[in-house]
Every structure is written in structure tokens, then in C-alpha cells.
Amino acid sequence: MPLSESTVLISEVGPRDGLQSVKSVMPTAAKCAWIDALHAAGLREIEIGSFVPARRLPQMADVADVVRHALALPGWTVMALVPNLQGAEAALATGVHKLTLPVSASEAHSLANVRKTRADMLAELRRIVALRDAQAPAVRIEVGLSTAFGCTLQGPVPEDEVLRLAEAAAAAGVDEVGLSDTTGMAQPAQVRRLFTRLRAALGERAGAAHLHNTRGLGLANCLAAYEAGVRTFDSSQAGLGGCPYAPGASGNVVTEDLVFMFEAMGIATGVDLEALLAARAPLRAGLPGEPLYGMLPEAGLPLGFTYADGRLPRTPSIPRQAAA
């Protein structure tokens, strides 16, 4: 889907970022049913899982099987997180379309998350790019700069350090460098300023906004990133997710709420909200008892809502507060 002033790409990260952050292990068949529903809703990029040792994240033990299932669905980008060269080798062997690597802007978070310094991660990144170039040159590589807006372990992260790290990642040969509010510390003015600087430094290689709703600013921060020129946004259905190595970092932006915000503004996402809301059913079935978040699922589509392309909802809904 070409991205323009009136189009954005929603990259669904629930099957990785969401599931790795809950204690329950979702059965493989349930994951596949949920992924089928996300695809049917019109999402066109999805982070399936992470290639990490099962002893560290048992929720990801079946990632290769889930990737193979997702690859059978047409017309979308199947992405996987890899923290190191070994993970990249395993991911490329499954045929994924895109790799994403976490490189932390905070030294303390880098050591906690991947047990490497930032310099070590840049060296690992160069090895992964070389592997990609040799084995699968069509596969894209994205770096998400974790803790770019602050770190619960270190505190503030200087913006100049974030930009230097972004430029070093781009110089290593990656296709995209995005910024991640891993700990939910960002605010809109900071988001607008840092993404503006990132785009000035990297141009078309400035990548996605991965923003959390930990302190209730997720959508406001997404809007600030959009105003700075960002056109790709990570989010998680029902707000699942966070970071197990950043204390208190709960709450990805809710996909349903983010899609609604953009569509209501006349900015097309390509996502069918009614089908997206229906995708909560297989998620709930696969994670019984797990809290699911979101304002739109509670309130419903407002009367008179139209999609950015002029379509009307198939089933007109009455907001709950109006029906009460």
C-alpha cells in the first residue's frame, strides 16, 4: 500500500510484543486462528514472533511453525524479531519477509534486554546485514531503537545519542530505523521533535513509531509522530504487550483505537474496523482470562462514522453510552 499524506501503515505487533509479555502460553492453533482474523481485517504487516531460545521466552517456542502459517496468507509482510545472528539465521530459514532488531538507546536496557552493549549490537547488526545480503537480499531489515524516549533503568536518554545510534545503524546497511517508546515515557512534543530530527538525518530510511500507552499518551504521541512525517505505526490488538526487561513498561497502543483515530481523521489504514473488532474473539479464546484493553471496543463506532475512503460500516452501531 503506497503511503502518502492520507495513508498510513499499521504494523500489528501483538503476536510478538503482546504474547511475550503475558504469562500464559497461547497454543499454536489459537495463534494461527488469531493471525487469520488479523489478516482478514486488512492488516498488511505483522510481527509474528521472535527467534529467541525457548527457555527465555517459552511463548515464542513455536515461532517457526507460526511464521510458516502466516506466510501462506497472501498480500502481507511477515516480520520476525531477531536479537542476534543465530536468531537471524533461523528466521531467514523460515522465509520471513522482514527482520526487526532491537537496538537499545540505553546502555542499561541493552544489557538487560539482549545482554550486549550498544557497540556490540551494532557489530552484530553488521553481521546480520552481511548474512542477509548473502542469503536473502530481498528481505528487509528494520532496527527499532528501544528506550529512545527514556529508560526506567537509566532515566533520560540524550537525544543526540539516539540520533548517533540511528545514523550508525543506517550506516550498517539496514533499510529502516524507527524509534520505540519501550518504557512509555514519551510525550508529544518530544515525539514530534525526535522524529523530525530522525527524518532530517535519515530521510526515507526513517522508520516506524513504536509507542506505548503506559501513561495514557499513546494516541497523542502517534498523532505527533504523524505530524512529523511518520507513516508506519506499530500497535497491538487489545493493547497487549510491553517489555519484560523494562520494569513498569506495560501497554502498547491499542490497534483498534489507533485505526479508528486515523480513519475518523480521513487517513486511510486499509483496515476494516468491524473485522478487527471481531478478531478479538480468537484472541480471547486463545488467552482466556487475560485482560483486553481498548476504548473503541467498549464504546463502539459512533453514529455517522465513515471510513477514510467513504465506506460505511456494514452494521451501523449504537454507542453503548447512547443506548444506556
Q: Is 243 a known active-site residue?
A: yes
d(CA 285, CA 133): 40
Q: What's the pLDDT at 237?
A: 97
Asked if 235 and 252 touch (Cβ cutoff 8 Å), the reply is: yes
DSSP 3-state percent helix, strand, coil across the chain (nearest 5): 45, 15, 40
Q: What's the pLDDT at 52?
A: 94
The terminus-to-terminus CA distance of the chain in angstroms comes to 40
Q: What's the pLDDT at 113?
A: 74
Asked if 108 and 153 touch (Cβ cutoff 8 Å), the reply is: yes
Among 84, 90, 162, smallest CA distance to 124 is for 84
Q: What ranges make up the beta strands (E) of the chain?
A: 9-12, 45-50, 77-81, 98-104, 140-146, 176-180, 206-210, 232-235
Interstrand relation of 140-146 and 98-104 (parallel, antiparallel or unpaired)? parallel
Q: How many helices (H) and strands (E) does the chain have?
A: 13, 8
Q: What's the pLDDT at 322?
A: 44
Among 284, 290, 321, 250, smallest CA distance to 34 is for 284
Q: What's the pLDDT at 1?
A: 41
Choosing from 32, 151, 222, 243, the catalytic residue is 243
Instruction: Give the class (CATH, top level) of 9-323.
Output: alpha beta
Q: What's the pLDDT at 154?
A: 86
Listing DSSP states for 264-286 in one string gives HTT-B----HHHHHHTHHHHHHH
Q: What's the pLDDT at 320?
A: 53
Kindly give the confidence (pLDDT) of every residue in the chain, 324 residues in length, as a single tens digit, with 9 standing for 90 and above.
Answer: 445 568 999 999 999 999 998 889 999 999 999 999 999 999 999 999 999 999 989 999 999 999 999 999 999 999 999 999 999 999 999 999 999 999 999 888 888 877 889 999 999 999 999 999 999 999 999 999 999 999 988 899 999 999 999 999 999 999 999 999 988 999 999 999 999 999 999 999 999 999 999 889 999 999 999 999 999 999 999 999 865 444 444 689 999 999 999 999 999 999 999 999 999 999 999 999 998 999 999 999 999 999 999 999 987 665 554 443
